[in-house]
A = this chain, B = another copy of it.
């Protein structure tokens, strides 16, 4: 009765974990909130919201972009960032579903 018999994580669980992981840092939460509330979203504006160096901000933005939660566009000489609406909605649904599936019952402990 080994635990490793061809078992794997579901695609949905992987996706949800990916979203969650991207949100797993206060700087990235701050960035997402900022982008979710504004139209103007240049790199400099984001940088000004955060207590970290621009190189680090750039890295966080890259991670959020890789996770699909935001997107960027060059608007020479600036770079404009914004929420990726499609994936944002997807993430929202994933989290909603995740928490909704809680069985209502008294604490088992």
Determine the residue in chain B with the shortest Cβ distance to A47. B3
A103 to B41, CA, bound (A): 13
Determine if A58 is an interface residue (Cβ-Cβ < 8 Å): no
Interface size range of chain A in the complex: 35 or more
Chain multiplicity (copies): 2
A31-49 CB mask vs B (1 if < 8 Å, else 0) is 0110011110100000111
Which residues of A pack against B, CB within 8 Å? Answer: 1, 3-4, 7-10, 13-14, 16-18, 20-30, 32-33, 36-39, 41, 47-54, 71-73, 80-83, 85, 88, 91-92, 95-96, 98-99, 101-103, 105, 107-109
Closest 6 CB pairs of A and B: A21-B24, A20-B23, A9-B26, A7-B51, A92-B99, A82-B108
